[in-house]
Amino acid sequence: MKPTVLNLLLYLWQLPQHLVALVVWEVLKCARKVMSVLRGHDSTIIYALPKMGLSLGRYIFVHYGCSPLTIKHEMGHSRQSLIFGPFYLLLVGIPSAVFANIWDRLFHKKWSSEKRHDWYYNRYPEKWADKLGGVDRISLLEKTDNETASFQQGKVKDKTQKDMVKQG
């Protein structure tokens, strides 16, 4: 099958989320919230001002200035969209929005941001999106913990200390 025919079939397979994405994109454009757009072979990343991470088929909406981890996570959701096609919004979109996102904001207000973060990314479909997007949060946490321990032991100095030495 030719790539253009395959792309058309994949676009149609994900049509419900693509239609929602086009509406979201238009609303963001009308509100002048779209900062930039990056079009790739199989995805379009829309960098916007509202703090958001939203994947609707090939369209990925992220906060302008977000981390590469956020983009990889959202690309994982895009892969889920390829798998579920027209059932993505029902099987991934609603559980992600309601059970992981809204539930967390309503019932975990008193939790630390670290605990909320851990809870959110260890739930379906977020944990699976991380896996599909190649996000390894465990290794990232271990690396951060090791860097913190090294800093506390005086093995690593922060940039301000280095800059002060250079200036002095």
What are the extents of the domains in the chain?
3-153
How far is residue 36's CA from residue 13's CA, in Å, rounded to a whole number? Answer: 27
Quick one: angle between helices 113-121 and 126-133, nearest 10? 80
pLDDT of the residue at 141: 56
How many angstroms from the chain centroid is the CA of residue 43? 13
Query: Residue 103 contacts by C-beta under 8 Å, 6 or more apart in sequence?
Result: none
pLDDT at position 157 over 90:
no
* Tens-place pLDDT, residues 25-57: 999 999 999 999 999 988 999 999 988 999 999
- 99-134 confidence digits (pLDDT tens): 777 888 888 889 998 898 888 899 999 999 999 999
Structural element, H or E, at residue 60: strand 59-63
Query: Hey, what's the torsion of the CAs at 63, 68, 73, 78, to 10 degrees?
Result: 80
pLDDT-based confidence at 1, cuts 50/70/90?
low
Looking up tokens 């309601």, which residue turns up? 98
